[in-house]
């Protein structure tokens, strides 16, 4: 069976795969768990009774540092009182208004819930440090970064000072393309045109997570002055993890109209022919009775189009269209469903190199990319024998509609009438493919109830004329023979199969 990319290779410019949206988090590891916090406070020389006052001073220092930095750079600091405001749109509006091409765009601050720790009394009358939920001020710093494009870093200004980073892989590639002389065109967050796709993919495959980690450390140090104390005390700064990662494979078509033609068939095939358990194949897993979790497939119609999504626990793969691009996108929220080759420490003190559940560390981003690329590839391989639905329906609609040719009205054809079905089956007979057919060859099959051959021949001639005007048959030059056209075969063949085979099979299944 023909795979979609092979089937429509002539209509496709190329295929490009890379990270899309990435959400990273930075943690100060000694502050993460209740056990490590006790040791951390001891190392910092902070008593439980001084916990609140000590970290209040740290919070004030962070706030002051961010606001002074924004003031020094001449960038606005806006307080958002409501949660419904779309911060990214707010920042991009400021960027466009002020023409910011590099550096800090703006700072947004708002109250949000967070996980923290608080000192409270125990049943024994002692002070203890427990995990708690509270609200504190969060700062969103939006940047137009030289290397990583539009991004933001959010910092929780109260203990444990967790940071969150948003990056977009397409924004990263724009900088890399510019450095390497590759021109491109974009629609929304997709590349619709890349001048050298092979070179672009080679550059994308060289993504360096260590470089990204160093870059984020530099930004975090500029935002959070308390990191110098953390580094001196514990010998480390933020530990970077991947909270969510999207990897998109874009199939760039030459024309939007062609993608519109096949997209209904792609959606129909994905939704009706594939099942929720196919997500195991896409994700490189075997369907096992021991599997505990949820596997789901769903279809969603949006104002901009529709998308099909397959989900296995918290990881998913989806398909949707954007302009002339068909996008297949894998989202990994829980990397432990996949494996990574790494060092395993055994209880006897030995080590070995084995496949183990993948962690969220930023160092595994190369593996995120490899897994996601394979998932997308397996999904695309499942898209086989796709029918250009829209153009096929348009062909049938034309046949079923009246038209005017040279001032004469050509009546519409009822493609489901018994008479026309009989005519279709006759002219599409394989014995006429090479030699064609004449009036006398088919007249009795066309109208078996008409005994008068003169009347039958005249009526057959009128049918020939109508079929010719509708483009279903053509006259072979310098002969009295006719042949079914390519358009005629593409319309009549499927109609015959549907009426004689597919429809009866479907009704039998439905009972």
pLDDT along the chain (511 residues), means of 10: 81 95 96 90 93 96 97 96 88 95 96 91 79 94 94 96 96 93 93 95 94 95 96 95 96 92 85 77 78 74 76 93 94 94 86 92 96 94 80 77 78 84 88 89 91 93 89 91 87 80 75 61
Q: Do 277 and 295 meet the contact criterion of CB atoms below 8 Å apart?
A: yes
Instruction: Examine residue 77 and state whether it is found in any structural domain, yes or no.
Output: no
Structure token pair of residue 368: 């995120």
389: which residues sit within 8 A by CB, 6+ positions away? 261, 262, 264, 265, 268
Q: Which helix (H) or strand (E) holds 43?
A: helix 34-44
- Between CA 320 and CA 266 the distance in angstroms is 10
- Between CA 449 and CA 419 the distance in angstroms is 11
Read off the CATH number of the domain in which 455 is found: 1.10.10
- Between CA 461 and CA 166 the distance in angstroms is 70
Q: Which of 216, 251, 371 is nearest to 3 (CA)?
A: 251
Instruction: Examine residue 472 and state whether it is found in any structural domain, yes or no.
Output: yes
Structure token pair of residue 339: 């494996």
Scanning 158-303, the segments in alpha helix (DSSP H) are: 169-179, 197-204, 209-223, 227-234, 256-268, 278-282
Instruction: Examine residue 27 and state whether it is found in any structural domain, yes or no.
Output: no
- Between CA 267 and CA 53 the distance in angstroms is 58
| DSSP secondary structure letter of residue 384 | B
User: How many structural domains comprise the chain?
Assistant: 1
Instruction: Examine residue 19 and state whether it is found in any structural domain, yes or no.
Output: no
Scanning 353-497, the segments in alpha helix (DSSP H) are: 365-382, 389-399, 418-427, 439-446, 453-469, 486-497
Instruction: Examine residue 474 and state whether it is found in any structural domain, yes or no.
Output: yes
Instruction: Examine residue 486 and state whether it is found in any structural domain, yes or no.
Output: yes
pLDDT at 83: 74
| Residue that has been written with the tokens 């935002």 in this structure | 223
Partners of 320 in beta bridges:
327
Q: Which helix (H) or strand (E) holds 132?
A: strand 127-145
| DSSP secondary structure letter of residue 271 | I
| Domain that includes residue 441, residue range | 394-510
Q: Residue 61 — φ and ψ, nearest 5°?
A: -65, -40
254: which residues sit within 8 A by CB, 6+ positions away? 11, 12, 13, 324
Instruction: Examine residue 347 and state whether it is found in any structural domain, yes or no.
Output: no
CA distances from 67 to 99, 231, 473 (A): 21, 23, 77
pLDDT at 408: 77
- Between CA 37 and CA 41 the distance in angstroms is 6
CA distances from 165 to 61, 227, 258, 276, 455 (A): 21, 17, 38, 32, 82
pLDDT at 304: 60
Q: Which of 134, 125, 115 is nearest to 48 (CA)?
A: 125
3-state secondary structure of 222: helix
Instruction: Examine residue 371 and state whether it is found in any structural domain, yes or no.
Output: no
Q: Which of 301, 307, 367, 294 is nearest to 335 (CA)?
A: 367
Q: Which helix (H) or strand (E) holds 96?
A: helix 87-98
């Amino acid at each position: 069976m023909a795979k979609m990319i092979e089937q429509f290779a002539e209509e496709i410019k190329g295929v490009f795969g890379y990270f899309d949206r990435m959400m990273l988090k930075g943690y100060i590891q000694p502050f993460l768990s209740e056990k490590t916090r006790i040791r951390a406070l001891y190392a910092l020389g902070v008593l439980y009774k001084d916990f609140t006052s000590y970290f209040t001073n740290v919070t004030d220092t962070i706030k002051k540092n961010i606001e002074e930095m924004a003031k020094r750079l001449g960038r606005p600091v806006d307080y958002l009182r409501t949660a419904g405001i779309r911060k990214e749109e707010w920042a991009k509006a400021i960027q466009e208004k002020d023409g910011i091409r590099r550096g800090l765009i703006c700072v947004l601050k708002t109250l949000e819930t967070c996980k923290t720790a608080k000192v409270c009394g125990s049943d024994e009358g002692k002070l203890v440090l427990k995990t708690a939920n509270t609200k504190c001020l969060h700062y969103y710093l939006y940047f137009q970064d030289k290397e990583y494009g539009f991004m933001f870093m959010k910092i929780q200004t109260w203990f444990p000072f967790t940071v969150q980073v948003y990056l977009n892989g397409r924004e990263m590639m724009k900088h890399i393309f510019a450095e390497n002389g590759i021109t491109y065109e974009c629609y929304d967050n997709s590349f619709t045109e890349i001048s050298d796709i092979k070179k672009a993919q080679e550059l994308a495959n060289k993504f360096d997570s260590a470089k990204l980690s160093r870059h984020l450390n530099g930004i975090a140090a500029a935002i959070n002055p308390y990191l110098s104390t953390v580094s001196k005390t514990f010998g480390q700064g933020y530990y970077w993890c991947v909270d969510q990662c999207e990897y998109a494979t874009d199939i760039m078509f030459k024309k939007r109209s062609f993608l519109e033609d096949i997209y209904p068939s792609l959606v129909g095939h994905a939704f009706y022919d594939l099942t929720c358990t196919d997500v195991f194949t896409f994700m490189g897993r075997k369907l096992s009775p021991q599997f505990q979790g949820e596997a789901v497939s769903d279809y969603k119609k949006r104002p901009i189009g529709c998308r099909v999504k397959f989900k296995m626990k918290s990881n998913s793969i989806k398909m949707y269209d954007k302009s002339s691009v068909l996008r297949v996108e894998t989202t990994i929220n829980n990397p432990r469903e996949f494996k990574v080759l790494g060092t395993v420490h055994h209880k006897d003190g030995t080590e070995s190199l084995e496949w183990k559940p993948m962690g969220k560390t930023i160092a595994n981003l190369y593996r995120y990319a490899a897994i996601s690329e394979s998932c997308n590839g397996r999904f695309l391989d499942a898209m086989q024998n796709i029918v250009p639905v829209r153009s096929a329906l348009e062909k049938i609609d034309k046949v079923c509609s009246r038209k005017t040719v040279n001032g004469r009205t050509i009546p519409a054809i009822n493609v489901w009438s018994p008479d026309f079905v009989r005519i279709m089956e006759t002219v599409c007979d394989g014995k006429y493919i090479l030699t064609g057919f004449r009036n006398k060859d088919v007249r009795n099959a066309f109208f078996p109830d008409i005994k008068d051959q003169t009347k039958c021949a005249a009526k057959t001639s009128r049918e020939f004329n109508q079929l010719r005007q509708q483009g279903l048959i053509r006259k072979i030059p310098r002969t009295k023979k006719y042949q079914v056209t390519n358009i005629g075969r593409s319309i009549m063949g499927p109609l015959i199969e549907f009426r004689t085979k597919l429809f009866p099979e479907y009704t039998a299944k439905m009972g």
